[in-house]
Structure 1
Amino acid sequence: MPMTPALPSATHVPWPAVQALFTRLIDDAAVFPPGLAPLDRAVSEHLSRRRYAGLVGPLLVPAAAAGDVGSLAASSGSAIPLRVALVTRPGAASEPVRAGVDLLRDDAAIEVSGIEIGWSPSWRELLDLGAPVTVEIPREGHDVALADVARGASRTPAVQAVPAVQAKFRTGSTDTWTWPDEDELARFVHGCVGHGVAFKLTGGLHHAMRGEHGAGALPDPQHGLLNVLVAVHRAVEGDTTAELGSVLAERDPGRLASAVAELTGAEVSAVRAVFTAYGCCSVSDPIDELAALGLLAHDLDEE
């Protein structure tokens, strides 16, 4: 059922602040589960998404596919370099990341906007690549890993105003990772704000609102983008972990959309300084839902 809260139309929303809230917030994870798009199609569709007025960030690509994505970018005919982030799963070796960055470093058709790796005691070895590093925080040793990433972030200068080091947390379930509930996600958000470290999210954040989504008799529980944005704002304002859990559990779209629309420019900047991006395998879904809620214009211009 479509969400139709009693909100002003998009033309009455404070557009500059709301636009800044969503600018390059949604990274394109089309090639990762559950989307699993072939790389050539993902590149083509990603380039077409430039019509989304700067809402979409880089294309997320497995580090081992760096050579293939470089060839596809070169043959695309685009005058604008393809922005990609090279990703490896937790526990994977770091060599493909280093090799991928070295391979694409001088490629005029492509821009490596960052690398994403799982936390290990040796993650700092990749800082010499000169690309922003996103480190996925595990469940086992969560507090140790987050504190370690925060220390690394505090000692590493930003790269062109982008955090040189940030944390990452998986919000969706996999065969080896059960879905983190509101309390677990609230703990991560609260911890990042407390440590002063920026973060991005990955996996499972496909919709504007918290709910049960997907097909089948038992749809998957999923966190909502608006829930996360409001929770980050509240964390910055000093809310407790328990209070953040309540925000993440909220299911009233009107209440959350109104809270987002009322954020000031300074509050938006504070939220995005903490919550920098998240990966989504179908970027049009959250964009369409945000537009339906009156938070984005339906007729988005090209970049």
Structure 2
Amino acid sequence: MSALLARLFDDAALFPPDRAPMDEALPAHRDAVRDPVAGRLLCPASRFAELRTHLVPEDLLDLVLVADTGIDGLPKALDAVRAEPRVRPCAVEIAVPEDADQARAVAVTLARLPSDVPARIGVRPSPGWREALDRVTAARERGAPLGAATGAVSAPFIAACAERGLRFTCAGTTGRAARHASGHGFLNVLLAAAHAAAGERDLQRTLERTDAPALAAEVRAMPDGPGEAARGLLEAVEVRDLAVPRADLRRLGLIETPDAGEDMAP
């Protein structure tokens, strides 16, 4: 179970629409990363200078730099991150424009992307998205450390990534365990990734399930092999508040209950 859920949730608190204040987001992240399910902090390039002013000497944060200012400013932003010893750059995430042909936009992005850093390429559900995944896959097969990212995870997207052996990251609207009014839950996505890795392509029913306890029971019973395959496909779920999935996992008995006195999300 620990391997299946390890570092599953990346912290996207600094992003719209909430744009958490830095003096709230960093302390919350420091607290959350003591939990093995918590992953990396996502920081927009436009907020990295602000983040540096709130770091403390003891910090050593695993960071995903999100190129919200575009590909042109990425080399300078990466230099700033690498010059800061209190963060460890893990990856860059960059999304192509939503109104662009996705395949062409990805080709342009890949041609200009620094070659020495792992990158998540954000692909939109717009014309050319399958071909865009083909381009990312081809570049990865030539040795580039690449994966895909999406803010609108869907059954076709997960199946397409599985067909290409392409690891992906997705955005979670609230980080809830099961499907809800705003989108898919993280257990839905995790199980869909496991099914896709096993060769199943009809994933819509899994993504639409709302029975969190039953989903949790299926996750709990998952053997090591399928679990490793699922996480070999699903890198992370990006959530706005790490406390939400942590609390849901505890309620469902998938991680240990905190000690008395530790706060839990409502």
Residue of structure 1 equivalent to 2:156: 187
Say if 1:51 and 1:278 are closer, same or farther in 2 by CA, change over 3 A. Answer: same
SS of residue matched to 1:122:
helix
SS of residue matched to 1:37:
coil
1:235 lines up with 2:196 in the alignment: yes
1:222 lines up with 2:205 in the alignment: no
Residue of structure 2 equivalent to 1:176: none
SS of residue matched to 1:228:
helix
The 1-side partners of 2:250 and 2:172 are apart by 22
1:198 lines up with 2:167 in the alignment: yes
Counterpart selection for 1:166 from 122, 134, 147: 147
The answer for unaligned runs of 5 or more in structure 1 is 1-17, 158-163, 172-179, 213-220
The 1-side partners of 2:251 and 2:179 are apart by 16
Residue of structure 1 equivalent to 2:37: 55
1:147 lines up with 2:134 in the alignment: yes
Residue of structure 1 equivalent to 2:92: 115
1:28 lines up with 2:11 in the alignment: yes
RMSD of equivalent CA atoms:
1.7
The 1-side partners of 2:168 and 2:136 are apart by 10
> Per-residue displacement from partner, 1:53-90 (whole Å, max 9, x unpaired)?
x21111111112222223322xx131x4122111134x
Structure 1 segment 267-278 matched on structure 2, within 5 A: 267-278=226-237
SS of residue matched to 1:139:
coil
The 2-side partners of 1:195 and 1:205 are apart by 28
SS of residue matched to 1:102:
helix
Shift of the alpha carbon at 1:155? 1.7
- Are the aligned partners of 2:11 and 2:239 in contact in 1 as well (CA < 8 Å)? yes
The 1-side partners of 2:209 and 2:125 are apart by 24
Counterpart selection for 2:247 from 282, 288, 292: 288
Paired letter, 2:120: T
Shift of the alpha carbon at 1:41? 2.1
The 2-side partners of 1:97 and 1:40 are apart by 25
Of all paired residues, the percent bearing the same amino acid is 27
The 2-side partners of 1:283 and 1:123 are apart by 30
Say if 1:205 and 1:131 are closer, same or farther in 2 by CA, change over 3 A. Answer: farther
Shift of the alpha carbon at 1:138? 1.7
Paired letter, 1:65: R
Residue of structure 1 equivalent to 2:74: 97
> Per-residue displacement from partner, 1:37-66 (whole Å, max 9, x unpaired)?
0123212221122331x2111111111222
Residue-pair matches, total: 248
Q: Which runs of 4+ in 1 moved over 6 A?
A: none
> Per-residue displacement from partner, 1:5-30 (whole Å, max 9, x unpaired)?
xxxxxxxxxxxxx1111111100111
The 2-side partners of 1:83 and 1:210 are apart by 29
Shift of the alpha carbon at 1:228? 0.7
- Are the aligned partners of 1:149 and 1:167 in contact in 2 as well (CA < 8 Å)? yes
The 2-side partners of 1:152 and 1:48 are apart by 37
> Per-residue displacement from partner, 1:108-133 (whole Å, max 9, x unpaired)?
111111110013222222232x2210
Shift of the alpha carbon at 1:203? 4.4
The 1-side partners of 2:244 and 2:6 are apart by 16
Asked which structure has the greater RCO (Cα within 8 Å, sep 6+), the reply is: 1
1:298 lines up with 2:257 in the alignment: yes
SS of residue matched to 1:269:
helix
TM-score, normalising length from structure 1? Answer: 0.77
Residue of structure 1 equivalent to 2:99: none
The 1-side partners of 2:14 and 2:210 are apart by 29
Shift of the alpha carbon at 1:137? 0.6
The 1-side partners of 2:155 and 2:215 are apart by 16
Deviates more, 1:60-69 or 1:193-202: 60-69
